[in-house]
């Protein structure tokens, strides 16, 4: 890598969006020299270096294939840009192939102005990794959150990806299409974590969309999660529900104790990172989840999840 990690991190901290592509190249690399530079980059965008939490609203958007996530994202992008917000989208493809290769088609489905420097879309493959995120997604989201106003992490699935996304996003929105009973069942059965916002797409379908919305609201109430907003949107012209969704997302963010949610997210993120990269055995060696959390709680609050994961590994070696 020609550009040093620290310099890229500094540029991101100064909200220089043009540093983002090179920063992502670095964060995705596992070449030993790049890993060192990535550490330096992440240190520059840690809460300690920023003097507080990164400014972006980090939003997880997840849902089954065909639910309308890309179309929804197109509408959201349009609305955010109209409001002057800069947006980064990290689109994670779930496909896992024996060849290891992947086809990343999301970008083609999201509509945006290619000349607009305020939007960045980056596609990555989750590969064989469990949890629905790619190896570098968490680090990428933390780094971009220093520079952009909105960071969206888009994943595919229901019941698998939300846990990891919840440990990384401020707000998790699950997207479902009308008539999809599986989400309802997953919610009731507790297989799926309760999202912060539920989005029912294709509300132009009428009665079936209304019924889905009612059923989801009822299920959430019975689970004691009446605070989760259910928003119905339609992207057919004229689009509807987007304003309501934007409000639901920002209200959720405004209602958060952001520093404690982010701190918890970084600690959980570090734990997940250790489990994914080094295996559950490593977690057990630290005394399981409670033991590992105890180690994490001793660390300074301003460390990024990458530094926290390193602290866990150091604890293992000691």
Residues that bind other proteins (CB under 8 A): 20-22, 24-25, 28-31, 34, 95, 97-105, 107-109, 111, 114-115, 120-125, 236-237
| Minimum CB distance to other proteins smaller for 100 or for 290 | 100
Nearer Cβ to other proteins, position 15 or 214? 15
Cα 206 to Cα 278: distance, rounded to the nearest angstrom: 49
Nearer to other proteins, 218 or 236 (CB): 236
Q: How far is the CB of 241 from other proteins (least distance, A)?
A: 16
Residue 125 beta carbon to other proteins: minimum distance, rounded to whole angstroms: 6
Terminal Cα distance for the chain, rounded: 32
């305020």: which residue's tokens? 118
Question: CB-wise, 156 or 265, nearer to other proteins?
Answer: 156
Closer to other proteins by CB, 122 or 213: give it.
Answer: 122
Q: CB count, 10 Å around CB of 290?
A: 8
Q: How far is the CB of 56 from other proteins (least distance, A)?
A: 17
Q: 177-198 burial, b for 16+ CB within 10 Å, e for fewer?
A: bbebeebbebbeeeebebbbbb
**What is the smallest separation between the CB atom of 75 and other proteins, expressed in angstroms?**
11
Distance of closest approach, residue 39 Cβ to other proteins, in angstroms: 14
Q: What's CA 19's distance to the chain center, in Å?
A: 20
Integer Cα distance of 84 and 73 in angstroms? 16
Q: Of 91, 96, 93, which is closest to residue 72 (Cα–Cα)? A: 91
Q: How far apart are alpha carbons 80 and 136 in whole angstroms?
A: 25
Q: Minimum Å distance from CB 235 to other proteins? A: 8
Q: How far is CA 53 from CA 40, 242, 257, in A?
A: 18, 27, 11
Farthest-apart Cα atoms in the chain, separation: 61
Q: Which is nearer to other proteins, 97 or 214 (CB)?
A: 97
Cα 201 to Cα 234: distance, rounded to the nearest angstrom: 6
* Residue with Cβ nearer other proteins (107 or 188): 107
Least distance to other proteins, CB of residue 90, Å: 11
Nearest-approach distance from CB 42 to other proteins, in angstroms: 16
* Phi, psi angle pair for 293, to nearest 5°: -60, -35
- Closest to other proteins by CB, 97 vs 289, is 97
Other CB atoms within 10 A of residue 293 CB: 17
Q: Closest separation between CB of residue 99 and other proteins, Å?
A: 5
- Cα–Cα dist 225/246, whole Å: 20
Question: Inter-axis angle of helices 288-297 and 305-317, to 10 degrees?
Answer: 110
Residue 228 to residues 17, 24, 37, 96, 182: CA-CA distances in angstroms? 33, 33, 40, 32, 18
Q: Closer to other proteins at the Cβ: 3 or 193?
A: 3
């Amino acid at each position: 890598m020609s550009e040093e990690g620290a310099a890229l991190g500094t540029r991101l901290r100064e909200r220089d969006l043009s540093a983002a592509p090179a920063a992502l190249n670095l964060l995705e690399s596992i070449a030993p020299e790049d890993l060192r530079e990535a550490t330096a980059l992440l240190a520059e965008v840690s809460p300690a270096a920023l003097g507080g939490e990164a400014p972006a609203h980090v939003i997880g958007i997840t849902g089954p294939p065909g639910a309308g996530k890309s179309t929804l994202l197109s509408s959201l992008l349009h609305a955010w840009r109209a409001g002057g917000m800069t947006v980064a989208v990290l689109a994670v493809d779930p496909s896992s192939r024996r060849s290891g290769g992947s086809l990343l088609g999301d970008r083609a489905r999201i509509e945006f102005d290619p000349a607009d420097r305020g939007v960045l879309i980056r596609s990555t493959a989750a590969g064989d990794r469990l949890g629905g995120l790619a190896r570098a997604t968490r680090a990428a989201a933390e780094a971009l959150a220093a520079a952009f106003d909105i960071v969206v992490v888009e994943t595919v699935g229901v019941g698998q990806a939300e846990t990891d996304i919840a440990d990384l996003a401020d707000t998790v929105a699950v997207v479902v299409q009308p008539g999809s009973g599986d989400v309802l069942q997953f919610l009731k059965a507790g297989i799926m974590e309760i999202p912060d916002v539920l989005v029912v797409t294709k509300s132009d379908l009428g009665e079936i969309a209304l019924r889905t919305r009612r059923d989801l609201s009822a299920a959430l109430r019975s689970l004691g999660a009446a605070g989760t907003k259910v928003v119905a949107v339609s992207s057919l012209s004229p689009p509807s529900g987007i304003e309501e969704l934007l409000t639901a997302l920002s209200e959720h963010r405004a209602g958060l104790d952001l520093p404690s949610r982010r701190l918890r997210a970084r600690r959980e993120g570090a734990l997940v990172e250790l489990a994914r990269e080094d295996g559950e055995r490593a977690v057990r060696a630290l005394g399981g989840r409670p033991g590992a959390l105890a180690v994490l709680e001793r660390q300074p609050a301003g460390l990024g999840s990458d530094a926290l994961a390193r602290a866990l590994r150091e604890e293992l070696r000691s």
